[in-house]
Structure 1
């Protein structure tokens, strides 16, 4: 049963169903969660949230069970409470399995790459519908309200919180013809990852993710464009520049926070003043604008959909970091920490003469990720895929450089990249 209580009356063990007030003002990523942490409880009580809706059927401690102000810890949710939650969900028209699947997507508990891969896929698929709907409505002249995309940002953050690299890896390796959708979701995830590496506050990371999702919403307002899935790179460059101002105005009309609208306006500005639309330089460009410039450019550089040439992820990092690139060097360093020195999807040459694709990071040693071999340079033939954790192979093999695929093996690598990543995450 749902019940409204004042924020001051919230206790540990209550299941928060909804936080009242503006989404950008509350200190939590999720609007629905079991409150088990004393620090979070105090943050909630001192926040601007006027009241909360709790679900008594899913709470480990019903409202009124303890005196207001109690700070005793609450027990973990029991099997009986979980069954009660499933029955409550079923009573609202949702099947028990659907309720459990939804709870999985809301969880922030750490997961391995293989376990998170399936959840990341689910997040990507359901985000597709929300993003396509948002961009279509924007194209029809409807203002974009924060509430339209908040669930997407929440889902992406939760996935990255469970595993820092699975979602970004999926978006890097996923073949998808809907460039607009994939680019928006990729930049959203990259902005969240960069925000985490910068140790921003949750509210700031939330706005960074929303900015990344909506940077190119103005493209739909450009004249004489084809389907929404058209590749931005097929648009006339001079015409394309107009999308920045169009997107900014559209988001401003919808009541987006200033940080989001400003990032949209500034994501093509560069520190040396060579960007557009205003030719801003240096610190005049806001933090979110400098973050967006890096994340947006990186995704464009590594994307090979639509038959366009792409850089290897490691080469894209080098491009961003080179002197005179126009990108904030400190933020590029943080970005490199977020995606890895050898990002997922990068193809490397091993000392053994094999080519391998990076499929996972090793947080204890970023220079030695987990790779999946697929080609013998010495024998010039394909190899059965095999995973190697370079940080744990006791020096039997190591990365000696970035692989030049064009000269070493024929054909389009993109389909193979997707199979290698999916096979590694599936353990096959």
Structure 2
């Protein structure tokens, strides 16, 4: 039987079925667990949660009125009390560390988050590759960091992932999709817990590649270059691994299983259509495909971010139209990292969004089409500058004496913010 009680009445031996309030109100990843020690009970009471739902079939019920509990609550030990203070402080930081900041201000933090996240994912993926049970708790803190970064600046983390070369493909993809999922969920105004779970789903969408047969490892490590039958098996392998974890939200399991399905039934593994595909999987399909377009494979050419958006809009019937529209509003019609042609015959790259005018982002001009030469880079806030300067379209870099697209993107992006910081 489920019963809502004030948190002050919570006791050892009770089974927490649900916290009332947002995910940021309590310090626990799992929302369902048995309270077996005084430290955990004290931590719940130290949080901002005011009430919980308990399951009396899985744990203790409230004692009858006037009765004395058989296991009275004992005050936490001094070390536990210190941890409780730490929980309070950490929760306060989570609540206040999402004040909006500029792209330049967030980039250093985003870089540190990405590096820490890469290390955590690396350990988890290696363990999976060795046949060990998946411990999602070891990668879950990554979601909190990414969510806070996206809340401070929606473009910095995913923009950095797009424009940084030294990111192993699997890790970069996981981090990028996680950040895109969080930003999209935020745009769709999903509940706080669902936003968090969307970020976790993004990290784990392709966990199944770590369970592919060792003999199927492709040259260069890009599993998408495998035979289609082998590559597609990663979906069911990943879903089984996550399901065996035993305590993951259904939302995460659905994203893993259905993110390669398409609205018109062209996807796999079940060829689902329309509303048969869970909402989170429709979101994941868009975020995953967008990032896939940016990197390409042996069979497909890597696309400019703006070209990736155009390709997805042109793929009629594949994606949920309303969610795709929200996604474009999230990343911008010209996402960070897009090469664009300007009306002044200059080549530029998008380095930041303009939240009030998405069609006129901030760009860094660095090449003249008229002279065929590089120019001294300069920044243009198109929404606040000369009205005659505008984007005329996605730039074609074919035949230009410039580094390859990925290297050029990193050079322009990092130099833009290095120069901006020094200015």
1:383-402 aligned at under 5 Å gives the runs: 383-402=375-394
| Cα distance in 2 between the residues matched to 1:365 and 1:382 | 28
Distance 1:229 1:124 in 2: 22
**Does residue 333 of the first structure (1) align with residue 328 of the second (2)?**
no
Shift of 1:319: 1.6
Match of 2:374? 382
Residue in 2 aligned with 1:168? 158
Give the superposition deviation at 1:213. Answer: 0.5
2:225 aligned with 1:230: no
* Cα-to-partner distance string for 1:210-239 (whole Å, 9 max, x where unaligned): 111001101011111449971122222221
Q: What does 1:63-102 align with in structure 2 at a 5 Å threshold?
A: none
Q: Deviation at 1:142? A: 2.7
Equivalent in the alignment of 1:413: 405
3-state secondary structure, aligned to 2:147:
helix
Asked if 1:129 is matched to 2:119, the reply is yes
Work out which of the two has the higher radius of gyration on C-alpha atoms and give 1 or 2: 2
Query: Counterpart of 1:241?
Result: 232
Task: Return closer, same or farther for 1:29/1:322 CA change in 2, 3 Å cut-off.
Answer: farther
For this pair of structures, how many residues does the alignment match?
Answer: 368
Is the alpha carbon distance of 1:46 and 1:32 closer, same or farther for their aligned partners in structure 2, counting shifts above 3 Å?
closer
Change in CA separation of 1:345 and 1:325 when aligned onto 2, cut-off 3 Å: farther
CA shift for structure 1 position 194 = 0.7
Aligned partner (choices 107, 110, 117) of residue 117 of structure 1:
107
The match for 1:298 is 290
TM-score, with structure 2 as normaliser = 0.78
Further displaced range: 24-33 or 270-279: 24-33
Q: Is the 8 A contact 1:106 1:158 kept in 2?
A: no
CA–CA separation in structure 1 for the residues paired with 2:372 and 2:319: 39
Q: CA deviation at 1:323?
A: 5.2
Change (3 A) 1:259 1:32: closer
- Give per-residue Cα distances to partners, 1:27-51, cap 9 Å, x unaligned: 2348669xxxxxxx99721355999
Equivalent residue for 1:45? 50
Task: Give the deviation of 1:320 after TM superposition.
Answer: 1.5
Residue correspondence of structure 1 range 132-143 to structure 2 within 5 A: 132-143=122-133
The alpha carbon displacement at 1:324 in A equals 2.3
Counterpart of 2:49 in 1: which secondary structure?
A: helix
> 1: CA distance between counterparts of 2:121 and 2:414?
24
Aligned-partner Cα distance in 1 for 2:20–2:207:
24
Provide the alpha-carbon RMSD of the alignment.
3.4
Cα distance change of structure 1 residues 177 and 304 upon mapping to structure 2, 3 Å threshold: farther
SS of 1:391's equivalent in the other structure is coil
- SS of 2:328's partner is helix
Q: How does 1:265-344 map to 2 (within 5 A)?
A: 265-303=257-295, 309-322=301-314, 324-344=316-336
Q: Matches of 1:32 and 1:422 in 2, distance apart? A: 36
Structure 2 spans left out of the alignment, 5+ residues? 1-5, 10-14, 29-45, 56-72
**TM-score, length-normalised on structure 1?**
0.78
Q: Is the 8 A contact 1:319 1:325 kept in 2?
A: no
Report if the CA contact (8 A) 2:94-2:148 is conserved: no
Question: d(CA) in 1 for partners of 2:299 and 2:408?
Answer: 15
Partners of 1:47 and 1:395 in 2: CA distance? 56
| 8 Å contact from structure 1 (residues 176, 305) kept in 2 | no
Gaps of 5+ in 1: 1-5, 10-19, 34-40, 63-84, 86-98
Distance 1:363 1:8, change over 3 A: farther
Partners of 1:194 and 1:309 lie apart in 2 by 25
